[in-house]
Amino acid sequence: MQKMNLGSQIKKYRSELSMSQDELAEKIFVSRQSISNWENDKTYPDIKSLLLLSEVFQVSLDQLIKGDLEIMKKEISTQELTSFQKDTAIMTVFYSLMLITPIPLAHFFDWWGMAVYLVICAVGMYFAIRVEKHKKKHDIQTYKEISAFMEGKSLDEIEKVRESGKRPYQKVLAAIISGVLALVVCGLIALFFHALS
């Protein structure tokens, strides 16, 4: 994790004003220990304190927190990527289970097996919805866009336009593949129960 530089910014602006930690603490209504903690990156000031600091130092909030915003954005982006990758992996596992478990579950556990299968389907659908939300939020739909995002990259404008042209076709193809797989699974389950009767 990259280190925030707000502490050094506070120290720099305080020194430029020839102000002690006690004097600064008095002006922004906190303890001297709070100032010390901020300057040593032990704690981070709340938004009210940040606003008061920017007033005392006569600098904008952007100047005060300088590179920290970029670091915070990068950390948020990394967290979102990790969340997307995790949700995609879980969805893939449950979709695979949806394909390979119906017959064994029905064979060994009869109707209880079908109840378990419905739970697997529900969990798979839950994570599919989560993945779709990620895709919508980051405007990624095609295979190339998703691959680039999962590598932490983004496509340039020309590639983006080309990929957006492919979206309708890839959506139709995905719907057809999903439909065929659903029919195959349903057919296998029907055949299994027909063989039992």
Segment-wise mean pLDDT, segments of 10 residues, the chain, 197 residues: 69 92 94 93 87 91 68 62 88 88 84 89 91 80 68 59 64 75 75 68
Residues 186 and 102 both lie in one domain: yes
Instruction: Supply the pTM of this predicted model.
Output: 0.48
CA angle 66/38/32 to nearest 5° reads: 135
46 and 121 inside one domain: no
Q: What is the tens place of the pLDDT at every residue in 46-86? A: 888 989 999 999 988 877 876 555 555 565 567 777 888 89
Q: Are residues 30 and 105 in the same domain?
A: no
The reported pLDDT for the residue numbered 1 is 40
pLDDT of the residue at 190: 72
- 115: helix, coil or strand? helix
Q: Which residues touch 37 (CB under 8 Å, ≥6 apart)? A: 43
Token output for 125? 């659908």
Instruction: State which residues form the domain around 32.
Output: 6-66
Contact 8, 33 (CB under 8 A): no
Is there a single domain that holds both residue 49 and residue 118? Answer: no
Find the CATH number of the domain harbouring 27: 1.10.260.40
